A and B are shown apart, each in its own frame.
Chain A
Amino acid sequence: MKKLIITLMALGMAGTSYAGKVVLQGSTTVLPIAQKAAEVFMKNNPDADLSVRGGGSGVGIASIIDGTCDIADSSRAIKPDELAKAAKRGRDLKAHLIAMDGITHIVHPSNTITNLTRAQIKEIYTSHATNWKKYGGPDLKIVVISRDSASGTFEAFSEMVLDKKKVRPDAIMQASNQAIASIVSRTPGAIGYVGLGYVSTSVKAVSVEGIESTKDTVLKNEYPITRPLFMYTNGKPEGMIKKFIDFVKSAEGQKIVNEEGFVGLK
């Protein structure tokens, strides 16, 4: 049995350690960018072998600290306790800004609401406000939809809008942006928040403090709920990892960022 394990281990090393292999893990917000970028990158570089996993920002950062992935996707900046943990394991995590994103509030297309203030959003998410009428909308029960509390999107939202106050317990917690978008598109009373890339014609984006969430307002930092998206590497990237990060930051990579609905830096 032991021999078998060692043999398998050896096989595994042979599998994982060759130069072209890169594992990406983390944020579900960054996932579409990572996937498409990996797809195009591997077409251009046949010897590259990338695999992309979701999980969430927290899990991506934890994995790169554990050494089980090469690039951690994150929709928030690294936290002090994560930095401390990384230092303890001798990791020197480097952030690579790859895109900007506006956390966009969406409602059902039939909802007449077009604008909410930050305070109103906070009230909807944390108190027991139950009807759209209060905010000038139709006479309809508000269905509050949020991301799972461990996701990077939630943490960014909680920090920028809720001032870390707790979300009301009857909010519907969903594990991904797409799940939120699809529930909102089917539910007349719903409100949810997603990355800019997930806004489609089947939902209606609401402006915040009178400012619409668009590529332009996000890039100029005018939209109030703007956040950066990162890829973290362990130390200065080298080899295939460097090649990939450079690709994502290149004009071609940033075009993918824009195509997926996020905001490229160029």
Chain B
Amino acid sequence: MLFNSLEFAVFLPIVFILYWFVTARYLKLQNLVLLLASYFFYGWWDWRFLALIFFSSTVDYVIGIQLGKDFPTRTRKVLLALSIAVNIGFLGFFKYYNFFSESFADAFTLLGAPFEPSRLNIILPVGISFYTFQTLSYSLDVYRRKLTPTKDSLAFFAFVSFFPQLVAGPIERASNLLPQFFKKRSFNEIKATDGLRQILIGLFKKVIVADHCAMYVNEIFNNHQEFSGSTLFLGAVFFAFQIYGDFSGYSDIAIGTARLFGFNLMKNFAFPYFSRDIAEFWRRWHISLSTWFRDYLYIPLGGSRGSTLMKVRNIFIIFLVSGFWHGANWTFLVWGGLNALYFLPLMLSNKNRKNIDSIGTFFPSLREFLQMGFTFLITVIAWIFFRAESVHHALDYLKRMLSDTLFSIPTLRPSDVMLYILILVVVEWFGREKEHALQNLEKYVGRPLRWLVYFAIAMVILLYSGEEQEFIYFQF
């Protein structure tokens, strides 16, 4: 079920009513409503994969309880390894089997011993990378004794499958989300209203910005040989906004929806295209995944401590794994590697935490403006690899883009899409210090104008919605 679908528009009010009007007195019943609603939401795609999520939850629930006991360290390590093996095993099988099989075949062909790889006709379960990482964080935190394992199976199963963030995050830490299932939730109007505002801006980002960009991105990337360098550059810029509108829009809708039910999810995007360097960009983009890798991979590897070689190794590992997490394709690995290369000079010169504070003034200085422009530009170049079908496709795209036609007038100049992007940039610039662009609007604008803004956004979403596209991150 897509957030921008009619089904969800019916589903959400029904769950809301059941949750607040029928079961509000009983925490267990509320959790049951959330669990059933989440399974229904997930089963809408393919009910068969419910077994997968149920099995994964059961394994981590049982292992979590065992990890909480006073077993010897060795036994606990075996239990943790079992949890990792099951979760990563599922992920590896569904997402990476064909990739490895074909890559081995290619490698053997290069070595002069060609063989035909066995391909499996596997459907990738929606959101598997997200809920796998979420349950893994539970097992890891319980193993490290940072979290007490729960015996409340209903709360745990509802935590793993919580529908607002089940299929595309934010990837929640058990330590943040799970305890919220144990506490009585009471309806908070301010929180719910703000949740609705966040849903509204999220829908605008997805349906207006991302879906309109997608139409041109698909046209340009699928036929890149036919376009001038400037059009290809525009296509790459549109993709930057498509993926941002798509994914941060999804996160906004997810966070806003969770707030309607009294839950707080972590912030996933913090206006990343206003970053002054790539390190700042990675603190603002897909925060829940970046911090996941930081806590469970980068720091255990040694982080930024140790020799320069170790630092370089750790940076490459984290970015390459992050790239590979996005998909079983060399393009994602190159994308990750490119970002590591961008990051490395900052890291080695100890400047990676230079831009921690916000700009502070309404208008950026010329220097900050140029820094933002440069960061955006190198990000756009990396996105080409992310969007391309293959590394060869990306390289050819880049080669044609950087030709002498780069400075010609683009053949495609969709003024509507440019206007939508401009509106998004302006609105986000005004709201860049907040959780989302429309937060606390009541502090600045009176009710009539505020309602007019909501009404205008809603009508724009309904009247100008682009061709419905699935959220990009569902495939990861």
Partners in one complex: no
Identify the A interface with B (CB < 8 A): none
